[in-house]
């Protein structure tokens, strides 16, 4: 089985065509980012082409570092945000630029991974956040499997109960869950200091 990043790379044009003009999730990201310290440093996992999420954070004055596993999407991202460091890598094998962050954000990524990789990624994110660091992740409340509309990749939601256990084990407190206009669920987390 190939990874979702390869599937996104093959379908990068159709993904960008729809995502670039979509504002789904924008208001949640904007509101969530208001609690972050001015000029905070953050890492974005599965950044895609950067519209609309990275653009919102960049325009708000946050310092961003980013990663995505699709070479074509990373190339689009680089041309749009030449000042933001971005690497093309699988998040499972990534070194997070070997630095610490005030926040992390991963929209549309977690459920693309298998169950053990999802748990490991949450732990890796916790390990690169400063005490009290913030994290915003999307994944459904319900558990289940479905095929990603753009790529056909099989997605896996572990569901609220299992996600809660994974977040607890990584040292996160779940502050709230929020639904966007497209029906996507956001887990708003904060590392217990
Ligand atoms: C649904 S898209 C979301 C992109 C972006 N966050 C957004 O909101 O538009 C998922 C992204 O995750 C990337 N991706 C999927 N699996 C990945 C992995 N294992 N490592 C790195 N990137 C991955 C894909 O290449 C794609 O850009």
pLDDT, tens digit, for every residue of 93-149?
Answer: 999 999 999 999 999 999 999 999 999 999 999 999 999 999 999 999 999 999 999
Ligand 1 centroid to Cα of residue 161, in Å, is 24
Cβ of residue 48 lying under 6 Å from some atom of ligand 1: yes
Residue 193, pLDDT score = 77
Tokens of 156: 């896996």
> Is the beta carbon of 136 within 6 A of some atom in ligand 1?
no
Both tokens of 9, joined, read: 């790379």
* Pocket lining: 70 vs ligand 1, CB cutoff 6 Å: yes
Identify the pLDDT of residue 44: 99
Report the nearest atom of ligand 1 relative to the CA of 107: 6
Contact of 67 with 47, CB cutoff 8 Å: yes
Counting DSSP H helices and E strands in the chain, the numbers are 7, 9
CATH number of the domain that residue 179 is part of: 3.40.50.150
Testing ligand 1's pocket by substitution, the residue of 111, 112, 136 carrying the most ligand atoms inside 8 A of its CB is 112
Confidence of residue 1 (pLDDT cuts 50, 70, 90): very low
Q: Which has the closest alpha carbon to 42: 29, 25, 23, 26?
A: 29
Range of the domain at 85: 4-191
Domains contained in the chain, number = 1
Give the model confidence (pLDDT) of 144-182 as tens digits.
999 999 999 999 999 999 999 999 999 999 999 999 999
Q: Are 64 and 96 in contact (CB under 8 A)?
A: no
Whole-number pLDDT of residue 2: 78
Ligand 1 neighbourhood includes 53 CB (under 6 angstroms): yes
pLDDT in tens, 59-104: 999 999 999 999 999 999 999 999 999 999 999 999 999 999 999 9
CA distance 2 to 148: 14
Residue 73 Cβ contacting ligand 1 at under 6 Å? yes
Check residue 3 and give its pLDDT: 94
Closest CA to 33 of 123, 104, 109, 117: 104
Nearest atom in ligand 1 to the alpha carbon of residue 15 is 2
Does the model's pTM come out above 0.75?
yes
């Amino acid at each position: 089985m190939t990874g979702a990043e390869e599937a996104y790379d093959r379908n990068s044009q159709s993904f960008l065509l729809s995502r670039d003009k979509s504002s789904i999730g924008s208001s949640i990201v904007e509101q969530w980012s208001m609690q972050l310290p001015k000029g905070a440093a953050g890492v974005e996992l599965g950044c895609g082409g950067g519209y609309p999420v990275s653009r919102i954070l960049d325009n708000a004055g946050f310092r961003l570092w980013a990663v995505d596993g699709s070479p074509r999407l990373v190339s689009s991202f680089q041309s749009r945000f030449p000042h933001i460091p971005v690497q093309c890598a699988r998040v499972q094998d990534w070194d997070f630029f070997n630095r610490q962050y005030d926040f992390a954000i991963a929209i549309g990524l977690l459920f693309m991974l298998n169950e053990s990789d999802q748990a490991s990624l949450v732990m890796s994110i916790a390990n690169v956040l400063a005490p009290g660091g913030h994290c915003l992740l999307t994944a459904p409340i319900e558990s289940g499997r479905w095929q990603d509309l753009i790529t056909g990749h099989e997605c896996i939601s572990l569901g609220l109960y299992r996600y809660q256990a994974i977040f607890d084990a990584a040292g996160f407190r779940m502050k709230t869950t929020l639904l966007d206009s497209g029906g996507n669920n956001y887990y708003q987390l904060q590392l217990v200091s």
